[in-house]
Amino acid sequence: MSLVGSQAIVAAVRRFWWAVPIAGLLVWALILRGNLAETRAALSAERFAHQRSALNWQLATATALAADLQHRIAQERRQAEESRRIEDDYEARIADARARAAAVGLRGQAAAADQGSRGGAPVPGLSDPARGAGEAAGQDRLSAADALIATEQAIQLDALIDWIEAQARVAGER
């Protein structure tokens, strides 16, 4: 290459100096365009994964809420069953205590009427054995009415204790 050719190249570079940066920018833009397509594909895949994750989360939430509702309904049903069972037992025990108190009252009235008709010396009768913890209060300390009230209160407390234990047992189930 001769000196004239070299000078011509230098003169062209001085005159068209702006072409070199533009060519570099053009190459860089083409590279970015290729990366842009890959980036858009990755972004689309990420959006899809995010939507799928959100749907999975919503499904899991709905499933958990349904299971929780089902558990709560079953628990309330078991609590109601326990309450009914305890209430039936309580009512039966109260009715039994009242029937026994009425029977004792009738026996006491019959014994008082029988003592006056015999004419002989009264023979002390045997008392009924205590049938439960509530009846022990009636032995020689309380009147029949007070003994019945004490027995009913003891039965009420016993039923309340049973109810609390049953409710706690049901609430502890999972």
pLDDT tens-digit map of 131-168: 555 555 545 678 888 889 999 999 999 999 999 999 99
Residue 125 above 80 pLDDT?
A: no
What letter would DSSP give residue 128? P
Residue 167 · residue 85 · CB < 8 Å: no
Q: Is residue 123 very low, low, confident or very high in pLDDT (cuts 50, 70, 90)?
A: very low
Q: What is the dihedral of CA 133, 134, 140, 141, to 10 degrees?
A: 120
Higher pLDDT, 113 or 13: 13
Residues 28-73 have pLDDT tens digits of 888 888 788 888 899 999 999 999 999 999 999 999 999 999 999 9
What letter would DSSP give residue 123? P
Residue 137 · residue 152 · CB < 8 Å: no
Q: Is residue 13 very low, low, confident or very high in pLDDT (cuts 50, 70, 90)?
A: confident
First to last CA, the chain: 94
pLDDT of 15 reads 87
- Token pair for 70: 């089902």
Higher pLDDT, 171 or 93: 93
- Across all residues in the chain, what is the average pLDDT? 82
Task: Find the helix or strand (DSSP H, E) in which 64 lies.
Answer: helix 19-118
Q: What is the pTM of this model?
A: 0.51
Question: Looking at the chain, how many residues does it have?
Answer: 174
Higher pLDDT, 22 or 37: 22
In angstroms, the CA 3 to CA 11 distance is 12
Give the mean pLDDT of 100-113: 70
What Å distances lie between residue 8 and 3, 30, 144, 166, CA to CA? Answer: 9, 31, 136, 105
Residue 103 above 90 pLDDT?
A: no
pLDDT of 60 reads 97
Reported in sequence order, the residue ranges of the chain that DSSP labels E, i.e. its strands, are none
